[in-house]
Amino acid sequence: MRTYIETGRGDEFLNADMIVKIQAVQNQHVAIWTDTTRLGIGIPFHADRVPPHQVQQIALDLLREIGNAPEQQATRVVTFLEGTVTSRYL
């Protein structure tokens, strides 16, 4: 199974296997780090307004969701909807 993070731009995805760090940055956005790049997923997430005090929780939810991948032979996309982190399978 492969897991991808939808970046909020609608057509860009990041392979979760490449992630080395996830960070809540100054209550402004969630930064996802790989070995070579830093990607900032900003507010709003998918046009959903996420209050600044919830950015840290979004980062924690993202880590939890990535780590809770069920054993399934499918492609999973982790996305931000209505201020929450969810998964969908393709």
- Is the pLDDT reported for residue 64 higher than 50? yes
CB-based burial, 24-38: b 16+ in 10 Å, e otherwise? beeeebbbbeeeeee
Q: How confident is the model at residue 82 (pLDDT cuts 50, 70, 90)?
A: low
pLDDT value, residue 46: 46
Q: How many residues does the chain have?
A: 90
Amino acid at 55: V
pTM: 0.65
- Is the pLDDT reported for residue 83 higher than 70? no
pLDDT value, residue 47: 42
pLDDT value, residue 75: 85
Instruction: Tell me the domain boundaries of the chain.
Output: 2-89
